[in-house]
Structure 1
């Protein structure tokens, strides 16, 4: 699987590079200068700036070629795009359960700092994988967000962390069970849940009345499908794309076959009158 992921990443990078020459000049990425150097953001300015914007929150590992492709497509679709590239989070203690909330707080602070630089009347947000989980919380924490699209995100967050097959979290789980003596998954989930305060199930439902879209995938074991469904039931998204792939291929398939649907989703959302 790792070799396949590597070759697909190379292919996607070459594909994106081959299309770079066709990008309109206005949509070239440039760094957004924020007062706090902790957060790095790539800014794609549309041909008609200041009217509507989309933030993109990348998955684990930071921005990738798919995020940059979404940014370019959205920019060409008329949006100023703000792609989070890096936010400072150096805590790597895999035993301490509080690491997760600190990571989520770091992302929400990065979103807040980016929002402070945006003046457009419409602001949407797009997230993939753990980026989608961050977005599910952001919609309840940042009232200026008008629309959100999630690609294979899920909740409750503690359940996602405890059941994922993501390598680093599986390793952390093993260490925690050995060092902290959890008897079973239920005990581990309960301990995690006490530490996580920005779960969308715990926050005020600020997403109500907003324009929402989701991709869910039935064979996903990284963000377990069960918890994708639970988040879907909470959100009741107006737009739903259902796939039957594992995590990586669901993300790839969404980009290959549905990226323009996501652009149109935000274009339609930007036309909805605010209540």
Structure 2
């Protein structure tokens, strides 16, 4: 099999499955990067990151989907269930990886999952996130992402929340996967991030809160157009900082193993 050619695979345990693309490097490696895509699923950028990492000697998993990730509900506890399943998916993939360094790269909602996993899962060695913020309850409450904004309006009518602050407080009660809840463990590991200025999907102020809490050693800021700052910033992260992101994982994989 040609090195760095993606292979579609599935892992399962106790009725739960995770689907992913696996890239194997030319030689056996104790270095792995798990890639968590943004809202809406994997894009061409995840494939390019995977090829970049694999060519540098990393095994790469692009996580495509998992059981229950498409659940919809007006219930406030929905997000707790969705994020819990994402952590289960990451854990299954991490357990499949060879012993050694396991980095995780996450973008947008994938970055939220990665920011949680680095503190929550011992198997994760380091994390780099793009356009991710915290607290997650605040991201959900204040995002201008169309589906979550519509859900917010529906919930506010249904439950009678006076304002977005009340909505945010109610979400926080039902949500136990906040990255900052695992802050002490996360800060024991290498952390990096790209912050997107002008972002209204993951509000920049919340990206700044994560940066302030994490104090990442690798820290970059990009900006997009006044409209569409989120996707433009994500592309800018690839265009301007892909080699920095690769160096982050390469340096720490070399230092640890």
The residue aligned with 1:103 is 82
Q: Offset of 1:34 from its aligned partner?
A: 1.8
CA distance in 2, matches of 1:201, 1:75: 31
RMSD: 1.5
Is 2:160 aligned against 1:177?
no
Is 2:69 aligned against 1:92?
no
Kept in 1: contact 2:18–2:66 (CA 8 A)? yes
Kept in 2: contact 1:58–1:84 (CA 8 A)? yes
What TM-score comes out, normalization by structure 2 length? 0.93
The residue aligned with 1:266 is 249
The residue aligned with 2:214 is 235
Deviates more, 1:175-184 or 1:253-262: 253-262
What TM-score comes out, normalization by structure 1 length? 0.87
Kept in 2: contact 1:44–1:81 (CA 8 A)? yes
Is 2:28 aligned against 1:49?
yes
**Is the partner of 2:185 in helix, strand or coil?**
coil
The residue aligned with 1:161 is 140
Q: Which runs of 5+ in 2 are unaligned?
A: none
Q: Offset of 1:184 from its aligned partner?
A: 1.1
Deviates more, 1:233-242 or 1:37-46: 37-46
The residue aligned with 2:5 is 28
**Is the partner of 2:255 in helix, strand or coil?**
coil
CA distance in 2, matches of 1:120, 1:31: 21
Q: Offset of 1:204 from its aligned partner?
A: 5.4
Q: Offset of 1:217 from its aligned partner?
A: 1.6
The residue aligned with 2:57 is 78
CA distance in 1, matches of 2:61, 2:240: 23
The residue aligned with 1:5 is none
